[in-house]
Amino acid sequence: MTEPIKVSATEREVALDEVRAVIENARDEAYRARLEAVVAALEAGEVDAAEAESLEPIVSLGLQSGRIRSVYGPGGEQAALRLYRKLPGGRAVQASAAEVGEALSSLRGRTLDSIAIHPAGPGAFTVALSADGIQLSVRLDRQGARLHSVEA
C-alpha cells in the first residue's frame, strides 16, 4: 500500500471509538503509542500503511465478534465494513473472492455432476464441485474464500 487510505466521517467515527476503547485497556506503552498515531491519522481523515496495520485487527475483531453491530447498530457496522474493505486484509479478501468467482464462472453452462462440503478444521470448510470433467475445490474460512485446487 503506497497511498494513504481515505476514511469517511462515518467510518472515522466508529474506528476512532474502537481504537480509543483499545487504548484504554492496552498496557503496552509502545502499542498505545502506535494506536495514538492511528487516532491522529483518523482525525486527519486518512491512514498510511503502518497505521492501517494497527487499525485492521481492531476493525476486523469488532466485526467478527459482533461488537461493532451491537454498539453502533447496522449503520455503524456498514461503515466499519466499508473501512475494512479499504484496508490491506479487506482488499486481499476481496481479491481472493474475485478469484474464486472467476474460477466458478468457468463452470457456467456445464452440467453440475456433484457438489460436496467437507469440514477442514474449526470454522473452515472445503466445497468441492465437479462439472463435465472439471473439479474445483474452494476453501472457506475466517480468511475468506480461496481457490484450493482446480483439475481438468
**pTM for the whole thing?**
0.80
Where do the structural domains in the chain lie, given as residue ranges? 5-86, 103-151
Alpha-carbon distance of 40 to 65, in angstroms, equals 25
Do residues 71 and 13 lie in contact, with contact meaning Cβ atoms separated by under 8 Å? no
Q: Could you tell me where the DSSP H helices lie in 26-138?
A: 29-44, 49-65, 67-86, 88-105
Do residues 73 and 17 lie in contact, with contact meaning Cβ atoms separated by under 8 Å? no
Per-residue pLDDT of the chain (152 residues; tens, 9 = 90+): 479 999 999 999 999 999 999 999 999 999 999 999 999 999 999 999 999 999 999 999 999 999 999 999 999 999 999 999 999 999 999 999 999 999 899 889 999 999 999 999 998 999 999 999 899 999 998 888 999 888 88
